[in-house]
Amino acid sequence: MRSKVFGSTLIIAGTTIGAGMLALPLASSGIGFMPSIALMLAMWMLMSYTALLMLEVHQHAPQSATLGSLADQFLGKKGRYLAIAATLFLLYALCAAYIAGGGSQFHSKLASLSLPSLPTQTGTLLFTVLVAGAVMLGTSKVDVINRVLFITKIVLLGLSLMFLLPQGDQVNLLSMPLEKGLLVSAIPVMFTSFGFHGSIPSVVAYTGLNIRALRKIMLIGSALPLIIYVLWQAASFGILGQDQLSENNELGMFLGAIGATVSSQKLTQAISLFADLALATSFLGVSLGLFDFLADLLKRPANAKGRIQTGMITFLPPLVIALYYPQGFVAALGYAAIALVVLAVLLPVLMAHKVRKLGLNRERYQVFGGNITLSIAIISGLVVIVSQLAHGIG
């Protein structure tokens, strides 16, 4: 059981810490270091709270329940349809983005090995097949692979931070917002950087309905990214400062600026490899969540034939989109925060409210706070949606 708790904690943390972490300083450069940390802490509190609400609801359902079946049980058909739409939009969009980005990076790695010239599509196909094979083997196999990748990427990041943090200028950490309106564009990015809720049903099915263990998994699994994000923000702001971060507003330029400032090509390579591993662990967690969701939705059996069928439905649509129409889902990803609000805030709050209204929590686990706390979570989710729409229209 301890092994499953440890592995599940890393699945939550690995799903959360994606390659997009590297872009957090760019998204928050206009608001300064201290305001960005305050915003980050608020988003972590919101997302860890709603993750605990999910556990509160899960204890009244079968261990194998997914978000769709939970919504159907507590909110009826309308809730089920909303859960299905939000989950499919978000997870398919993320998988398409991970396949496009990971395939390109995988192709670059193959080319660096002096292999014969291969088309970019070959790297994308191989990358997808490797991840799909792991996911179809089951959560236990994903657990083992994720542990190796997660520990490796944390070692790389730790070495990078040990080198970067002492070279930072503390004065850069005291910068004030360039414009208060830039907070609007930072909110959705910070919110989505703590999105792991699609993996919660898979973790519950894997570890069992041990609420004490699951609480530990959710809180530690989400706190690890928070700590890492804060250290990364401190290193980025300390090294480059607010003005340089604002000027180097693309990831490649940002990494190049850090490498030039500290005069270390090896450091740039280490951070680049961290990005590759972060993308891989995020893709594993997200695709595992989508796989289990589709298996439950389509009632596919857990035998070899059923898992292959579910795997095809999970990976083929985002693979086709990544190969032939990536720009469509890149645009859709701009509104991923809205789907995540539905998935990670709206549905958990509504289901927990229904559970409490029915009186099912007597002598069972209930998250702290009453209707006021639930209302604050809903209002916070609406703020994220408004920020995303405001950012979308400029």
List pLDDT tens digits, range 162-189: 888 888 888 878 877 666 667 788 888 8
CB 134 within 8 A of CB 284: yes
Mapped onto helix, strand or coil, the DSSP state of residue 62 is coil
CA distance 51 to 340: 12
Between 84 and 112, the more confident residue is 84
CA distance 335 to 385: 9
Instruction: Determine phi and psi for 113, rounding to 5 degrees.
Output: -85, 10
List pLDDT tens digits, range 256-291: 777 777 777 777 778 878 878 888 888 888 898 899
Read off the pLDDT of each residue in 81-98 and give the average, rounded to a whole number. 88
CB 386 within 8 A of CB 107: no
Closest CA to 365 of 20, 11, 59: 59
Residue 209 confidence (pLDDT) above 70: yes
CATH number for 214: 1.20.1740.10
CB 54 within 8 A of CB 200: yes
CA distance 46 to 194: 9
CA distance 330 to 96: 9
Question: Residue 59: its pLDDT value, please?
Answer: 92
* Total number of domains in the chain: 1
Residue 135 confidence (pLDDT) above 80: yes
Mean pLDDT of the chain: 85
* HSE (side-chain half, CA atoms, 13 Å) at 269: 5
pTM of the predicted model, to two decimals? 0.86
CA distance 306 to 311: 9
Parent domain of 36? 2-392
Structure tokens at 351: 């289901």
Question: Residue 180: its pLDDT value, please?
Answer: 65
Question: Residue 42: its pLDDT value, please?
Answer: 95
Alpha carbon of 288 to those of 128, 293, 348: distances in Å? 13, 8, 20
